[in-house]
Structure 1
Amino acid sequence: MLKKEETPWSEGVVLVCTKCHKSISASSLKEEGNAGENLKTFLKKSFKESGDLSKIRVVTSSCLDVCIDDTQAVTFASTDGKTETFTVHPEKDREELLKLLKSKI
């Protein structure tokens, strides 16, 4: 039986593609590991430190079908149904992405 569930996050979910890592030049990255996983960790830590982690869920995703070389695809899906997808450099643009996402919650 289908049962609707309430989510523990009130404003939305952020999906970070992990497949994009393959198209980002290693020379443009400072951190080891998967750039998508690293971006997710950065966002979760930042939202936790600001007390906003209960408003937003940050998860990794498989391909979001927005494949542009040297960028990371990130989708914000609001609980009101609006979805926005962005492409960013996973390290150089992370502060700007964080600021944008905070403005949405």
Structure 2
Amino acid sequence: MKKLLKRILALLRQIFQQFSSTSKPSSPPPYHPPAIPIPPIPTFVPQWQNGLVLVCSQCTVEQFSGSSHRINRGTTASEELQNWLKSRIKFDGLWGKYRVVSTSCLGVCPQSRVVVVLHHDAIGQQCFIVSPEGEREILYSIIKQINQ
């Protein structure tokens, strides 16, 4: 009986070895998503490619949510500065050369001031921290001077 059990165990080992060596679980082939052609995104050259003025819309909203920095009809000092810059640029005939755009937080968050980024081919990029009412004329003179 012992011989028979030994023989059965030897056969079972042989079967398991053959099974494990011939049918090793292989890893699945790597996934390759189907090749989907990516359509081109249309581009254009804007009129204002030489001058872009970004005005942070959050500077006077998040820090000064009280009425002290609300100027007219619920507008913030940032909005007022942006509107003022737009009107001055339009008045001086520079609207096609410059574009004034509000942007979300730029991460500077100055106290009682607004961050303005001026990008122009002649100077590259400059960042200003301005008093919305007290220094807007100085900011505009810089914009105008660059254009000359």
Q: TM-score, normalised by structure 2?
A: 0.63
Q: Partner amino acid for 1:17? A: C
- Greater radius of gyration (CA): 2
Give me the identity figure in percent.
Answer: 32
CA-based RMSD: 2.1
- Please say if residues 10 and 54 of structure 1, whose CA atoms lie closer than 8 Å, have aligned partners that are also in contact: no
Output the CA distance in 1 between the equivalents of 2:93 and 2:111. Answer: 34
Q: Higher relative contact order at CA 8 Å, sep ≥6: structure 1 or structure 2?
A: 1
Question: What is the number of residues matched between the two proteins?
Answer: 104
Q: The residue matched to 1:9 in structure 2 has which SS?
A: helix
Q: Partner amino acid for 1:99? A: S
Which protein has the bigger strand share?
1
Q: CA deviation at 1:79?
A: 3.9
Which protein has the bigger helix share?
2
Q: TM-score, normalised by structure 1?
A: 0.86
2:112 maps to which of 70, 76, 80: 70
Output the CA distance in 2 between the equivalents of 1:90 and 1:72. Answer: 6
Q: CA deviation at 1:2?
A: 3.5
Question: Where does structure 1 lack aligned partners over 5 or more consecutive residues?
Answer: none
2:71 maps to which of 13, 28, 31: 31
